[in-house]
Amino acid sequence: MLDEMQRDLLKEYVNVFIGQAASMLSEMANQRVLLTVPEVDIINMSDDTMDLARPLFNHGHIISSSMKFGNDFSGRALLIFPAQKAKLLVDACMGMEMSDYAEESYELIDTDFDVLKEISNVILNSVIGEFSNLIGTTVEFSIPDIEVLFVSQDEQKMYLKNDVYMMMLYTSFELAEAQVEGVIIVALGLTSLNKLLDKISEEIGDAL
Amino acid sequence: MNNFFYDVMDKLNVGIILLDSNSKIVYWNRWMIQKTDLKMETVFNCPIEEVAPKFLRPKYQKILQSVRETGHGRFLAGAVHGSFFVDIENDQSTIIQQNLQIERSLNGYVLIQVEDYTGYYQKVQKMKTFITQLEKENDQIKINEENSRKMAMQDVLTGLPNRLFLMNQLRNKLENAVLEDEKERVAIFFIDLDNLKAVNDSHGHRSGDAILMEMAKRLKHAIRGRDTVARLSGDEFIIVMEGLLDNKDIKRLAGHILDQFIEPFNVDGIEHEVTCSMGISVFPDDGKEVEELLDKADQALYSIKHSGKAGFAFYNRSLEE
């Protein structure tokens, strides 16, 4: 859906947006948190031949937080982590010593979900807030809802099926002692997507 | 309608605070009054940081400002930020857990919802302590099990591997030697002290035990890292040496073991001359099974004992006749 140039520019924007979230998370975690988005993509979910550039998550439990945002630029933003890795982020933010959690032996408790809620709140706020700035509109939104789901590899597409266009931002969290891979998904309607693509094309036009 | 509104607000099971555009409190519901013991009249028109000094910190000032300017709600997890409001229901020592949800309302007003998780959080803390305790106990059990396992495999007096350990290890070694199919040979030295009984009879068992302990030390010193020395019973010891090429090799090592007995054994200032006899069987020449090899080494030992002691003999077929 994106040509090379659009993809590059989008990637550049997203990395700037996420950088702000990173500095807020660093403050929260009392340690340097680096966030990078090495890969972005926009996919059309109604296209059955569509393949995800990479699997969103391994077979197993995931933490998914999502929030709707609205106005001129509207859609749904999601942040997804493997549940096992989510615990590393929580521990880092609570200043706890990190330990390697064996497969399926992690336990998330309610306070962990609160921390994850705040983490996704910070990240999604930055990304969506900055996208709306880019398009030149204001978007209001509340706090994301967080849930833990069991999703198998085959169900990944189904999980996303409700929305049409998906902007996939494959995100890597680098903490002092761990690396956590997650994905930010921004589901957009056609109107909002066009607004974004127009803006990006416009910026490219200006640059050329 | 206004009365309805206030009634509903007061019945909510969360704290509701409404701040005006200057961050002064304009509304504070009953939940907040009960938690803090501060009446609406007391806090009305008070800057939020007077009631909750944490909001003086630049970090939280920035968050309030950002919510007000952008309209993007912000969630503050109590697990990370601790509590913002004094809680009169719990004493000072309690870790108070409050989640805050900060959102922009109309006309630059800011709505703060306060959720209290203190009771829950305490339960979680207790549970965590309990789990840590269980883990510690589990570790201790593992250590004890490991100790018992070692004890089952160890000779109490000398600390050397015992018969059980030796049999297991020898079985593994022979299996590996068969699997690897190398030209490697494994020698079994069956060692027996020649005159321990005399020491026991004349100086008591304590002296005999001291000699056995010293002997274990000397034998350990005489072998290479990959070899094994074990105490079979009484004054019988076994040494297993692998990676040997021919009988010349084995004889050299046997001589080295005998050398360990040149020096007399000193117990409580009394010097004891102790010698030993040794029977040797070799894998695969004399057999491939553990029991068979031990038995043949024992036969070789028997032969050397009868021919004058203090030396070694290889097993040879004529012994069976």
pLDDT score of A104: 47
Mark whether B207 and B303 lie in a shared domain.
yes
Name the more confident of B181 and B144.
B144
* C-alpha distance from residue B100 to each of A14, A139, B112 (Å): 28, 22, 7
Mark whether B37 and B111 lie in a shared domain.
yes
Contact A115 B80 (CB under 8 A): yes
Q: What is the dotted CATH code of the domain comprising A4-207?
A: 3.40.1550.10
**Structural domain ending residue among the three candidates B116, B140, B162:** B116
Neighbours of B140 (CB within 10 A): 10
pLDDT tens column, B69-97: 888 899 998 888 888 887 776 665 566 67
Mark whether B60 and B192 lie in a shared domain.
no
Mark whether B224 and B96 lie in a shared domain.
no
Q: Which domain holds residue B207?
A: 154-320
Interface size A-B, in CB pairs within 8 Å, comes to: 62
Which residues on chain A are in Cβ contact (under 8 Å) with B124? 109-111
What dihedral do alpha carbons B75, B89, A90, B71 form, nearest 10°? 0
- Residue B139 falls in the annotated catalytic set: no
Mark whether B100 and B227 lie in a shared domain.
no
Mark whether B64 and B8 lie in a shared domain.
yes
pLDDT score of B275: 86
pLDDT tens column, B17-60: 999 999 999 999 999 998 888 998 999 999 999 999 999 999 89
Q: What is the CATH number of the domain that holds B56?
A: 3.30.450.20
Neighbours of B179 (CB within 10 A): 8
pLDDT score of B238: 93
At B232, the pLDDT band (50, 70, 90 cuts) reads confident
Min CA distance, A169 vs chain B (Å)?
21
Q: Which amino acid is at A80?
A: I
pLDDT score of B321: 47
Give alpha helix (H) positions in A101-167. Answer: 110-135, 156-160
Q: What is the CATH number of the domain that holds B186?
A: 3.30.70.270
**Structural domain ending residue among the three candidates B87, B116, B145:** B116
Q: Which amino acid is at B294?
A: L
- Could you identify the residue written with the tokens 């072998």? B223
Give me the interface pTM, i.e. the ipTM.
0.79
Residue B294 lies in a domain: yes
Residue A171 in contact with residue A18, Cβ under 8 Å?
yes
Contact B71 A138 (CB under 8 A): yes
Contact B72 A118 (CB under 8 A): no
Min CA distance, A190 vs chain B (Å)?
24
Domain ranges of chain A: 4-207
Please state, rounded to an integer, the average pLDDT across all residues of chain B: 86
Contact B77 A128 (CB under 8 A): no
Residue B107 lies in a domain: yes
Q: Give me the residue from A111, A112, A141 closest to B117, CB to CB.
A: A111
Average pLDDT over residues B298-315: 85
The low-confidence residues of chain A, meaning pLDDT below 50, are: 103-104
At B112, the pLDDT band (50, 70, 90 cuts) reads very high
Q: How many domains does chain B have?
A: 2
**Structural domain ending residue among the three candidates B116, B141, B165:** B116
Mark whether B193 and B309 lie in a shared domain.
yes
- Of the candidates B87, B192, B235, B298, the residue annotated as catalytic is B235
Residue B234 lies in a domain: yes
Q: Best of B63, B65, B80 to disrupt the A interface by mutation (most A CBs within 10 Å)?
A: B80
pLDDT score of B20: 93
Q: Which amino acid is at B131?
A: I
Residue B122 lies in a domain: no
Task: Mark out chain A residues that contact chain B at CB-CB < 8 A.
Answer: 27-28, 90, 93-94, 109-112, 114-115, 117-118, 121-122, 125, 128-129, 138-144
pLDDT score of B287: 87
pLDDT score of B89: 67
Contact B101 A28 (CB under 8 A): no
pLDDT tens column, B261-298: 888 888 888 888 888 899 999 988 888 888 999 999 99
pLDDT score of B110: 94
